[in-house]
């Protein structure tokens, strides 16, 4: 089950990542070529400015320095392909240094050799100078530029990977959250469905008319259950319609042993809550409290708005005994707490306490600010 769940999350996450990564890659590619062309054009323009100040600038020199920009773009792009293929950015700084220093020198030397060869054979450079020294000094100068190019590339790449990892983490977190919410709802639904069907089965022979009424109420609950699979929250008013059907259905099973009172303030009726949350608390109160008492008991539900919070209270006859091995809050209460945390964070709370003799109170506080995103 967990393996399939992980595969489901991974597939959904990978689809979203593929969409974002493709856009991200296109944007980064455009930025790379923009910086690449702009940077090397600036190098050529600066050399032209220096040459114009020292010597007479003419058209052949302009073409030669334009070729320098072209050679710089071509050879550093080749250098970049080697960096990507060998995954230098994933290496430690020490290993990167042992590779980038000779790599920058070889790239710088290749650029300058091409530049010097054209300048030498076209007569645009002084042939009386020491050729070896000229090539060495020129290569070192271009090596400095290439090394600076690499530092910029490395920093941009690291920042880009960090941003991408951050996006991946957010998408994964959202996918896990969505999957957990759907899983929790699927755990809750069968729990009350089987109890309801058992109640109807017991009524079929004893009272067919009441069984038909119970079946209608169960169909309402089933329809509601299917509807909530497509939403994270529902209004409290919609939830209470199902609560009435559920309590009426349970009252057919418990008869005089079950009573209920409901007081929902008008301003709280439109507040969004996790679906099946109130039903879970009501079911828990009946299962762990009222059903265990020979004389039965009562369910009381009330809600109101105060201090920008929805205050929802579900009370049932019974005793909540803490730290006793035989007592368990059950999967319903634990799931409700988990769902509140996933949707609203730590601001939403669920507390179970004894408020009076033989009365257990489940109090929920939900912020009106909405779901955490």
Q: What does the pLDDT read at residue 241?
A: 92
Q: What is the dihedral of CA 43, 47, 53, 55, to 10 degrees?
A: -170
**Separation of alpha carbons 1 and 330, rounded Å:** 21
Inter-CA distances, 285 with 167, 241, 247, 314, 326, Å: 43, 18, 11, 8, 16
Domains present along the chain, CATH in parentheses? 2-172 (no CATH), 205-367 (3.30.565.10)
Which residues are paired to 273 by β-bridges? 234
155 or 80: which leads in pLDDT: 80
Whole-angstrom Cα distance, residue 180 to residue 174? 10
pLDDT for 182 equals 54
- DSSP structural state of residue 349: E
What would the DSSP string read from start to end of 262-330? EEE-GGGTT-EE-TTHHHHHHHHHHHHTGGG-TT-EEEEEEEEEETTEEEEEEEEES---TT-TT---H
Express each pLDDT in 14-25 by its tens digit: 444 444 444 545
- pTM value? 0.52
Does residue 203 carry a pLDDT above 60?
yes
Alpha helix stretches (DSSP H) within 89-130: 93-121
Q: How do residues 42-67 score in pLDDT, each as one tens digit?
A: 988 888 888 788 777 788 888 888 88
Residue 238 confidence (pLDDT): 92
Residue 15: what pLDDT? 46
């Amino acid at each position: 089950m967990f393996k399939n769940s992980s595969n489901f999350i991974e597939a959904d996450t990978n689809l979203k990542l593929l969409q974002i990564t493709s856009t991200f890659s296109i944007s980064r590619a455009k930025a790379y070529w923009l910086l690449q062309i702009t940077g090397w054009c600036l190098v050529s323009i600066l050399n032209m400015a220096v040459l114009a100040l020292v010597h007479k600038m003419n058209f052949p020199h302009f073409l030669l320095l334009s070729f320098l920009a072209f050679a710089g773009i071509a050879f550093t792009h080749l250098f970049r392909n080697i960096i990507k293929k060998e995954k230098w950015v994933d290496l430690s700084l020490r290993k990167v240094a042992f590779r980038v220093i000779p790599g920058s020198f070889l790239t710088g030397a290749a650029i300058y050799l091409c530049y010097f060869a054209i300048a030498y054979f076209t007569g645009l450079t002084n042939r009386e100078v020491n050729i070896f020294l000229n090539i060495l000094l020129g290569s070192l100068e271009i090596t400095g530029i290439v090394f600076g190019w690499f530092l910029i590339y490395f920093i941009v790449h690291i920042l880009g990977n960090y941003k991408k990892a951050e996006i991946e983490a957010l998408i994964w977190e959202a996918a896990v959250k969505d999957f957990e919410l759907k899983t929790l709802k699927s755990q809750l639904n069968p729990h009350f469905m089987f109890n309801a069907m058992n109640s109807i089965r017991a009524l079929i022979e004893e009272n067919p008319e009441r069984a038909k009424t119970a079946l209608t109420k169960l169909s309402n609950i089933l329809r509601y259950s299917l509807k909530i699979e497509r939403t994270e929250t529902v209004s409290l008013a919609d939830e209470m319609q199902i609560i009435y059907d559920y309590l009426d259905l349970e009252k057919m099973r418990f008869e005089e042993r079950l009573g209920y009172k409901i007081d929902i303030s008008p301003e709280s009726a439109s507040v969004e809550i996790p679906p099946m949350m109130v039903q879970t608390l009501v079911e828990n109160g009946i299962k762990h409290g009222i059903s265990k008492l020979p004389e039965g008991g009562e369910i009381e539900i009330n809600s109101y708005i105060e201090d920008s919070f929805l205050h929802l209270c579900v009370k049932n006859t019974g005793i909540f005994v803490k730290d006793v091995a035989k007592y368990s809050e059950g999967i319903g209460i634990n799931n409700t707490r988990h769902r509140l945390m996933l949707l609203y964070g730590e601001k939403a709370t669920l507390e179970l306490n004894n408020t009076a003799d033989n009365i257990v109170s489940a109090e929920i506080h939900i912020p009106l600010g909405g779901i955490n995103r």
